[in-house]
Amino acid sequence: MGAGMLLSIVVLLAVLYTLYSYGLLLVPDKWQIRVGAGLTVLALCAAIGALYGLYRGMLLKIQFDRLRDTLLLWENGNPARPVRPLGGGEIDSLIEQLDRVGKRWEEQVSSLQRLSTHNAQLAEQARVSAIVEERQRLARELHDAVSQQLFAISMTATAVGRTFEKDLARARRQVELIEEMASVAQSEMRALLLHLRPVYLEGKPLYQGLSELVREIQSKMPIEITLEMDAGLQLVKGIENHLFRIVQEALSNTLRHAKATKMEILILRRSDALRVSLKDNGVGFDLDEKKQASYGLSLMQERVSEIGGSIRYITAPGKGMRIELTVPLMGGAEQRGIED
Domain boundaries, the chain: 2-75, 111-328
pLDDT in tens, 183-208: 667 655 654 554 455 455 677 889 98
CA separation, residue 29 to residues 15, 24, 25, 239, 309 (Å) = 21, 13, 11, 85, 77
Cβ distance 112 to 306 under 8 Å?
Answer: yes
Cβ distance 324 to 311 under 8 Å?
Answer: yes
Amino acid, single-letter form, for residue 67:
L
Residue 17 is predicted with a pLDDT of 61
Residue 322 is predicted with a pLDDT of 95
Cβ distance 181 to 152 under 8 Å?
Answer: yes
Calpha distance 69→141 (Å, rounded):
56
Amino acid, single-letter form, for residue 98:
L
Angle between helices 206-220 and 237-253 (to 10 degrees): 20
Query: Terminus-to-terminus CA distance in the chain, angstroms?
Result: 57
Whole-angstrom Cα Rg for the chain: 36
Cβ distance 333 to 235 under 8 Å?
Answer: yes
Q: What is the 3-state secondary structure (H, E, C) of 277-298?
A: EEEECCCCCCHHHHCCCCHHHH
> What DSSP designation does 285 have?
-
* Nearest-10 Cα torsion for 111, 112, 118, 122: 150
CATH class of 111-328: alpha beta
Angle between helices 90-141 and 295-306 (to 10 degrees): 130
Calpha distance 296→264 (Å, rounded):
18
- For β-strands 262-270 and 224-229, DSSP reports them as parallel
B/e letters for 182-200, b = 16+ CB within 10 Å, e = fewer, are eeebeebeeeeeeeeeeee
Phi-psi region of 206 (alpha: psi -120 to 50; beta: other; left: phi over 0): alpha
Cβ distance 309 to 327 under 8 Å?
Answer: yes
Amino acid, single-letter form, for residue 29:
D
Residue ranges, the chain, pLDDT below 50: 1, 191, 194-195, 198, 336-340
Calpha distance 311→20 (Å, rounded):
70
Beta bridge partners of 314: 322
Cβ distance 267 to 229 under 8 Å?
Answer: yes
